[in-house]
Structure 1
């Protein structure tokens, strides 16, 4: 009887592992879709999904015009200048713009994964992302700044270290390095290869 209960519990937990991430992802995507689509309630009630589609197409079109045409770039730069110099708005705008730009777009900041030595004896290394290659403007000669993500969180912290204390995270793409850091080291290049081999066998 106890073995039967343990087996049921084991299968239940395996089901949670399978269904949990999938259902959570679907719920988050649906919540985003529902929130965006209801920005204009009257229109979304008559034509569900139309507001979301308009915003999606409009955002894509703005990105295309702002990056491919001179007039679009001029308008975007003009809006940037106005918002960056408007009291009360500039801090919020610049913060949001810089955070989004760090992850997407042509000026991604977290694109250079590195290993950082944070302790000498015994040697202790942490994976992070090179964000500034020269910190001399802050009176740190021959130093760089590195962002260290927290595991299982969207937060992190920035440290300034000497250039000799870092080395490239060879074998990791930026995406793999972020997954490795955020997952607490449980997800990585080698673990993915082992999973593929076990599936083949």
Structure 2
């Protein structure tokens, strides 16, 4: 009898330890991962400028005994952000747009490079710029009746596939950077008017955990 009581107490103790462990992870994991991603991103961007300068002018930036480059933390990050802001500001000017178009044409017609360049370019243009694609969330029916997936219209014209009455919808996966592209009839797509693109993407990535009115 005494052994059974000890066993129950031990099981209860283990259960509480597991519960508190999971609760602690639920609190600390998002904070820790967020801090790690921010710090890693900051260090990566902050190291771009010193690495570029060192590769072109090795004598301007010396190396530390451990092989890393000597730099003032934050300076490279600030410079890179300023350069990106300036490029964004002048990107609509006539002269700059022509220069970008020239580089774009060269890269688009360079064997081996054009696939990488066009893929990266299309990916970023899908989220920003004048050609932004992921700007309108929709519900698409591609499974059973009354079963809907949340995604984004990437093309309203699928006539290139001999499907003039169809549209192209991209459906991201939850907790992943992957997704599926569907070509579906227009009547199987419903526009989501009470949710913007950022809210929809957050809802999808979180697996529906994020609350939405």
Q: TM-score category by the smaller chain?
A: 0.7 to 0.9
Match of 1:37 in 2: 46
Higher-helix-fraction structure: 1
Q: TM-score, normalised by structure 1?
A: 0.84
Stretches of structure 2 that go unaligned for 5 or more consecutive residues are: 1-8, 52-60, 63-68
CA distance in 1, matches of 2:79, 2:185: 49
Inter-partner Cα distance in structure 2 for 1:71 and 1:126: 43
Find out whether 1:51 has 2:53 as its counterpart. no
**Partners of 1:143 and 1:133 in 2: how far apart?**
8
Indicate if the aligned counterparts of 1:177 and 1:188 stay in contact, CA closer than 8 A.
no
Q: How many residues align?
A: 188
Written as runs of structure 1 = structure 2, the 5 A alignment for 1:1-201 is 1-2=9-10, 3=12, 6-39=15-48, 40=50, 42=61, 45-67=70-92, 69-120=93-144, 122-190=145-213
Question: 1:128, 1:179 → 2: CA distance?
Answer: 11
Output the aligned Cα RMSD: 2.0
Q: Per-residue CA shift, 1:26-78, capped at 9, x if unaligned?
A: 111211222232332537624222222211111111111112x2222222222
Partner of 1:195: none
In the alignment, the residues of structure 2 paired with residue 54 and residue 11 of structure 1 have an alpha-carbon distance, to the nearest angstrom, of: 44
TM-score by length of 2: 0.79
Higher deviation after alignment, 55-64 or 9-18: 9-18
Unaligned runs of 5+ in 1: 191-201
C-alpha distance after superposition, 1:100-132 (max 9, x if no partner): 111122321111111111234x43211111111
